[in-house]
Amino acid sequence: MDHEHSTTTRRKGKHLTYEERLIIEIRHKDHWSIPRIAREIGCSPNTIRNEIKRGTEWLYHGKVPRYKAEVGQKAYEENRKHCCRHYDYLEKADFLDYVEENFQTKKWSLDACRGEALRTGAFSKEEVTSTKTLYNYVDLGLLKIKNIDLPDKLRRRPRKACLKENKKILGRSIEERPSEVDERNTFGNWEADLVIGSKSGEDKVLLTLLERKSREFLIIPLKDRKPDSVMHAFEELKEQYREHFSEVFKTITTDNGSEFSDLAQLEKDTDTLVYFAHPYTSWEKGSIERFNGLIRRFIRKGRRIDSYSLEKIAEVEEWVNGLPRKILDYQTPEEIFEVELDRIYQLDKSVA
């Protein structure tokens, strides 16, 4: 509709009143056109057309149609009885029990529970609710899950960005990184970061690595945050993957922290390329920042890393990689990562 010639002057969504229906009845009886009636009421002609259709009754043995305001009002009131939010809580009780069990035992998100149920065939599409409905049920107190149990829902507001300058860039800038890395269609592109515990006294740190395509997440405990410790961890990874290291680790993107000052040395004896994000722009490696947030569900800020056993840290890594991800069609990072590794090793055998 051309807004310049619109007849609508009433608030959008406002329903017709009984007095307006009386006006419609009188004007319609006087053979006014529908657009003319709409201009007087201040609504769309379609609103008048639909109202006349609802409120028309047939008189004189069904031969003469006549619009009646009372009939239209009665039809309106009857329809309003059914205008409410309906919940299928009882009909989906089995699925909701499944969600509660996996949320409590496996620490999955509500969306991951729903996606895994559909992917594995545990429930059909008709037997599950939408993710939005699950969160509505939490708000209404219909599940044994509270908002305080949802880590991301009650997160604090981020601090305002503070622009800083004059920090040294340690190596090749992220601006030189191939565009295919951003597209996440190729395997072997990683992001790296450090997670620290207590800021007072000497404490262990966690080197975290994230593969951008599969979302495989590695957590490697380090004795401190010195560059030598970081490089020692990568030497162990080189020993683990041997001649396939450069295929598994094609690129590594990290920040300009002093702990990564020696990381560019990987380029000397491998084909791995190291890229550094711009200073104070952690969003340029936002994936690993997001996954570091998952670690904080188990390892709180300010708690000493050395107070957690290696077994506990390994359990956290296993949980993250076993979490069904919506962006992976509810497959787990571990499943995608294993497929990519098998492809690399099979290709090597075929070449040999």
Q: Give me the CATH number covering residue 14.
A: 1.10.10
Which pLDDT tens digit goes with each residue over 271-286? 999 999 998 888 999 9
**CATH number for the domain that contains residue 309:** 3.30.420.10
Is there a domain that residue 181 lies in? yes
Is there a domain that residue 165 lies in? no
Residues 35 and 179 placed together within one structural domain of the fold: no
Residues 232 and 344 placed together within one structural domain of the fold: yes
What's the domain range around 331? 174-351
Q: What is the largest CA-CA distance in the chain?
A: 98
**Of 58, 80, 102, which one is at a domain's C-terminal end?**
80
Of all residues in the chain, the percent with pLDDT exceeding 90 is 70
Residues 276 and 324 placed together within one structural domain of the fold: yes
Residues 202 and 244 placed together within one structural domain of the fold: yes
In the sheet where 189-196 sits, what is the strand order?
217-222, 205-211, 189-196, 251-254, 273-276
Q: How many domains is the chain partitioned into structurally?
A: 3
Residues 103 and 61 placed together within one structural domain of the fold: no
Please state the pTM of the whole predicted model: 0.70
Residue length of the chain = 352
Residues 193 and 326 placed together within one structural domain of the fold: yes
Residues 243 and 282 placed together within one structural domain of the fold: yes
Is there a domain that residue 274 lies in? yes
**pLDDT surpassing 90 at residue 310:** yes
Do strands 205-211 and 189-196 pair parallel, antiparallel, or not at all (unpaired)? antiparallel
Average pLDDT over residues 22-33: 94
Is there a domain that residue 87 lies in? no
Which pLDDT tens digit goes with each residue over 109-158? 999 999 999 999 999 999 999 999 999 999 988 899 998 888 777 666 66
Task: Say how far apart CA 31 and CA 200 lie, in whole Å.
Answer: 86
- In the prediction, which pLDDT does 130 show? 93
Task: Say how far apart CA 262 and CA 110 lie, in whole Å.
Answer: 41
